[in-house]
């Protein structure tokens, strides 16, 4: 049943599209197929992908940690989707609301190298002072558009959202996540993980990054940030997504079903709902057969997570495609290299093969 899908992974690994890869297909309540293969590390020493190999999840942190944390605080009445950022933080662009930050319609820029002024001071990384400096820089950045007018996928927006959640929740985001997300989800995800698959041979750090977050804005925050920082195995990622799927299906489990349905459906001016991305016909990483009511997200390190709510299916694909070097650059708008183009072609082909296999088994309609 899964031979074609496994063959696609094998061919991509042999072609050097990425060193290692892990895939998990599951329903809300059971795993259907798990495949882990390739190299977790090529240098400074070779290391094969292990069973339950942890990976840097990059921006999957947004939908596995920050989004459910935000929904939990909304459900408790600590804030609402219409809460204005300035009413909590006392600064930030005017008229930006929680909903705008989740839908990437705040008008804030996509990304800035906020780490630049502290990247050399490793002993200060993660301190409260540095964290507040990064949060403050994100909030003070000049908006590119008025709130709600356009769609700009924005790490700065999620940094601002993280500052709101920490202020309202009265604790650092990893502590809030443990209380509101990790315990009810019962999924093994962590903020940093020794032995994780290697990512970039980082010029700023002067070494191959292993077990600490690749994203430098998150790294200077101690690896605990609202836009990046989580690590996990492909099983752990799929299980965390299945927790949200079960809530969508009506099982509370610590996350209100009504709010999860909003998170999957309340679309802004672009493709994003409340944190989760939707399917863009003809351009989705989930391929042409993924349903239009599906939601998902990607991570810069080579991660993809998609949910088909009506079919009750979760697909997680993790890789270390940025190891040992980033093919295509580390900033938005960088040139697309042949290796990056091959990776972009691999993801929809993989998901199409998965849908075909599920359909053949009577699990997709």
- Structural domain boundaries, residue 19: 3-360
What does the pLDDT read at residue 256?
A: 93
pLDDT tier at 122, thresholds 50, 70, 90: confident
Give the torsion sign (CA, 310, 60, 234, 24).
positive
pLDDT score for 216: 96
Tell me the pLDDT band of 328, cut-offs 50, 70 and 90. Answer: confident
For the sheet with 277-278, list strands across it. 47-48, 31-41, 20-27, 313-319, 303-308, 295-299, 277-278
pLDDT, tens digit (0-9, with 9 covering 90-100), for 204-241: 999 999 999 999 999 999 999 999 999 999 999 999 99
Identify each DSSP E strand in the chain by its residue range: 20-27, 31-41, 47-48, 55-56, 189-191, 201-202, 207-208, 230-232, 277-278, 295-299, 303-308, 313-319
Number of domains within the chain: 1
| The two structure tokens encoding residue 132 | 């507040």
Across the strands, what pairs with 34?
Answer: 24
Report residue 36: phi and psi, to 5°.
Answer: -130, 125
Taking the CB of residue 78, how many other CB atoms lie within 10 A of it?
16
Q: Which residue has the higher pLDDT, 123 or 95?
A: 95
Residue 209 lies in a domain: yes
pLDDT at 53: 99
Taking 90 as the threshold, does the pLDDT of residue 121 lie above it? no
Average pLDDT over residues 94-111: 97
DSSP SS3 for 334: coil
For residue 120, the model assigns a pLDDT of 75
Residue 123 has pLDDT above 90, yes or no: no
Tens digit of pLDDT for each residue in 14-62?
A: 999 999 999 999 999 999 999 999 999 999 999 999 999 999 999 999 9
CA distance 71 to 144: 27
Per-residue pLDDT reduced to its tens digit, 291-315: 999 999 999 999 999 999 999 999 9
How many Cβ atoms from other residues are within 10 Å of residue 248's Cβ?
23
Give yes or no for residue 330 having a pLDDT over 70.
no
Average pLDDT, the chain: 96
Residue 285 pLDDT more than 70? yes
pLDDT recorded at residue 332: 62
The CATH number linked to 236 is 3.40.710.10
Within-domain flag for 365: no
């Amino acid at each position: 049943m899964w031979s074609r899908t496994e063959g696609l992974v094998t061919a991509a690994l042999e072609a050097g599209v990425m060193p290692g890869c892990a895939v998990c297909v599951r329903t809300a309540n059971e795993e259907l197929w798990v495949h882990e293969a390739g190299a977790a590390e090529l240098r400074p020493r070779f290391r094969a992908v292990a069973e339950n190999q942890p990976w840097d999840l990059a921006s999957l942190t947004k939908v596995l940690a920050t989004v459910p944390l935000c929904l939990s605080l909304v459900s408790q009445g600590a804030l609402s989707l219409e809460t204005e950022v300035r009413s909590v933080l006392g600064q930030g662009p005017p008229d930006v609301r929680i909903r705008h930050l989740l839908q990437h319609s705040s008008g804030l820029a996509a990304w800035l190298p906020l780490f630049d002024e502290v990247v050399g001071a490793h002993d200060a990384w993660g301190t409260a002072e540095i964290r507040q400096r990064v949060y403050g820089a994100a909030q003070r950045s000049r908006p590119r558009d008025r709130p709600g007018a356009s769609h700009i996928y924005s790490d700065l927006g999620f940094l601002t959202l993280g500052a709101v959640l920490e202020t309202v929740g009265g604790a650092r985001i990893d502590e809030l996540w443990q209380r509101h997300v990790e315990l009810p989800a019962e999924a093994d995800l962590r903020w940093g993980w020794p032995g994780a698959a290697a990512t970039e041979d980082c010029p700023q750090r002067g070494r191959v990054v292993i077990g600490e977050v690749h994203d430098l804005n998150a790294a200077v925050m101690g690896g605990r940030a609202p836009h990046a920082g989580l690590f996990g195995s492909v099983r752990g990622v799929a299980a965390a997504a299945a927790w949200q799927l079960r809530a969508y299906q009506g099982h509370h489990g610590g996350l209100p079903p009504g709010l999860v349905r909003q998170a999957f459906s309340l679309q802004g001016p672009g493709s994003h709902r409340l944190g989760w991305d939707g399917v863009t016909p003809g351009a989705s990483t989930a391929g042409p057969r993924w349903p239009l009511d599906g939601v998902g997200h990607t991570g810069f390190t080579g991660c993809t997570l998609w949910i088909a709510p009506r079919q009750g299916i979760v697909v997680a694909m993790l890789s270390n495609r940025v190891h040992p070097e980033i093919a295509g650059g580390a900033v938005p708008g960088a040139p697309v290299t042949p290796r990056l183009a091959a990776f972009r072609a691999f993801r929809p082909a993989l998901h199409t093969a998965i849908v075909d296999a599920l359909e053949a088994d009577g699990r997709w309609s």
